[in-house]
Chain A
Amino acid sequence: MAGDMIVEARGMNHWFGTGEARKQALFDIDLALPRGSLTVLMGPSGSGKTTVLTLLGCLRGVQDGSVNLMGHELNGATEAELTALRRQLGFIFQSHNLHESLTARQNVMIGVQVRPGVNDDLTRRAAAHALDLVGLSDRIDYLPANLSGGQKQRVAVARALVGNPQMVLADEPTAALDRDSASDVVDLLKRLGAARGTTTLLVTHDNRILDRADRILTLEDGRIVTNTGGARGNDAKMHSRAPKI
């Protein structure tokens, strides 16, 4: 695969359930994300966005087709290999999932400590720096309970970014936020991603975000129906097929 693609999926199918209840959620997905790009994944509820994200993010095993992530084939990878790959990714969830008993800084530190051999002092400073980047330098020692919803999600962004991940996967990170906080969080992802060369895959319903995307993928009933450059679209190489009728 081209070296400038961080992840490339070909002919990916996915099913849930077994026997009678077995149901196909993804059909023949082809996609490729250029390094450093911001891609928005759209589509109605139930169309398979989250499933795509969990497969590319090594949170589920690939059942059919090929997914190459940073040079590793995910189809057939062991649990240990998937876990190791996940250490090079950053995740942002719809809810912040911060640890209630840890301060903002400690929550972010968890994002670095997953890598073996990082020393404590470095971790603390990296966490403080990441919180500074998301504009929370004055909230470093706050517990989540004392932060607003937007601030908590920014801590989650800092936690996802602190380890300098190759790729950040975010699933509706702004759904629970008010308009201003949501746009803050997306701006952060965009700005920090660009500055660090991080690839970002963002699932959202939020039309306000589209103009920040390099590329927009739309899913419907488990198939990619459109694959277009965003408002700031570039000539990134995307592999797509017309939906099968």
Chain B
Amino acid sequence: MSRLLQWIFGRLPIGWMQLTHKRGRFFAALSGVAFANVLVFVQLGIMNSMATATLRPYEFFNADIMISATDANALSEGGNVARQWMLQALADPDVTAGLGLFVGDVPWDRGERDITFTTFGIDPGQREFIAREIATDSALLQMQDAALLDRLARGMSRDEAAAIRPQTPLSFETKGRTLTALDTFAGGGGFGGDGFMLVSDQTFLSLFPDRSSAAPDHILLRLRPGANVEAVANNLHELITDKTLRIRSFADAAQEDLRYQQTQRPTGVIFGFGVLIGVLVGLVIVYQVLSADVADHLREYATFKAMGYGHRFFLGIVVEEALILGILGFVPGVAIGTAILTLMGKVTTLPLAMTPSMAITVFVGTVVFSALSGVIATRRLAAADPADLF
């Protein structure tokens, strides 16, 4: 290692030798960096899974524009939208179809543990609005009280979900009615509910008797192929009488939802803070170790200064130390982070995993922040005045 570093730096790897000379401190520092890495990985993993989970339900639908109430920051939040605005929208020649989307939570009492399905009510006849994987089954929803269940839902075993077929349906009681699950689709547990369920708008309204068919939660629009989505959305703002409505492309709606989850909702903000704290912990640990190391070697550094070494040489040593700590600390950090995320993913069924982009981001961040700590730590070197050595 020493030889390799000597070759890389073209000088004695003083930083390496200095670090490894005090093994206890060295390993404590590496554990600290690894710990900070794990902290960041877990938080990033959760943030990533929140993004995946937030964006997932948008993938169940094919739409170009989504119209929501002004306070509807997420699919299952905020007020509803009068169906009459959909009729106004359809007056635009570029708008070819409109769909009312109902959203509500439907519990399934399973004895020891309830499952909550985030449930979408749609007109099953409008198959062009439904993602291809699901559309093949949508005809099944024409039957009253029929449902398609999320086979990745939390709290339901994979075997149990796999057994649900049109020939072998599964019925369960909820909200005073009996729903019959005729088939399944791949959804995935999120932060709001344990999984998803699709029903017809008729079934939805019978589950939620206080809801009205005249006021869905969102309105989805499909446009003529080749139409300019932004232009149409702008035009609809003019066309529709209610100026408070949020009219934006479906993709923008998904991104707005995600931004809302990450920056407005407590969970998102907490995980964002977690990343910041992880970075700070790492920074402080590396800084502490390096500045203590500089302080311990002030006389030696002053001697080097007397011999004619300049600031770049010391910067080189301390940054060398910082990079060694960052890189060697990252290795156990990424290993432990992967293990923890995998374990957490198993327990929570959230889509938690180490991704290459996460690993690369954290690696680069670790190297950059370690080097930064090193640069800050060299400020203490100003105290090493060779004239005081004699």
Contact = CB atoms under 8 A, between A and B. Distances in A.
Interface of A is mostly: mixed
A53 B386 CA distance: 12
A59 B11 contact: no
A-B residue pairs, 7 tightest by C-beta: A101-B21, A87-B308, A86-B308, A171-B390, A97-B303, A59-B387, A101-B17
B309 A114 contact: yes
A85 B307 CA distance: 9
B306 interface: yes
Contact of B308 (A84, A97, A100): A84
Contacts, number: 69
A242 to B, nearest CB: 28
Contacts of B17: 101-102, 106
B228 to A, nearest CB: 63
A109 interface: yes
A99 interface: yes
Interface of A: 50, 53-54, 57, 59-60, 80, 83-87, 89, 91, 93-95, 97-102, 106, 109-111, 113-114, 120, 171, 203
B114 interface: no
A92 to B, nearest CB: 10
Given A113-B12, A171-B390, 8 more contacts: A59-B386, A60-B387, A87-B307, A91-B389, A93-B303, A111-B307, A114-B309, A120-B6
Contact of A86 (B10, B300, B307): B307
A57 B302 CA distance: 14
B390 A101 contact: no
A93 B306 CA distance: 10
26 contacts: A53-B390, A54-B390, A57-B306, A59-B306, A86-B307, A87-B308, A93-B303, A93-B390, A95-B299, A97-B300, A97-B303, A98-B300, A99-B297, A99-B300, A100-B21, A101-B17, A101-B21, A102-B12, A102-B14, A106-B17, A110-B14, A110-B304, A113-B12, A114-B309, A120-B6, A171-B390
Interface string B328-349: 0000000000000000000000
A213 to B, nearest CB: 19
A99 B11 CA distance: 15
B307 A110 contact: yes
A122 to B, nearest CB: 13
Contacts of B389: 91, 93, 97
B6 A114 contact: no
Contacts of A89: 308
A97 B297 CA distance: 9
Interface centre among A59, A84, A87, A120 (most CB of B within 10 A): A59
B310 interface: yes
Contacts of B21: 100-101
Nearest to A169: B390
Nearest to A111: B307
B12 A97 contact: no
B387 A54 contact: yes
B12 A114 contact: no
Contact of A109 (B12, B300, B309): B12
B12 A83 contact: no
Contacts of A98: 300
Contact of B12 (A50, A106, A171, A203): A106
B20 interface: yes
Contacts of B304: 110, 114
Contacts of B302: 97
B52 interface: no
Nearest to A105: B12
Contacts of A60: 387
Contacts of B307: 86-87, 91, 110-111, 114
Given A99-B297, A113-B11, A94 B6 contact: no
Nearest to B300: A99
Contacts of A95: 299
Contacts of A59: 306, 386-387, 390
Contact of B306 (A50, A86, A109, A203): A86
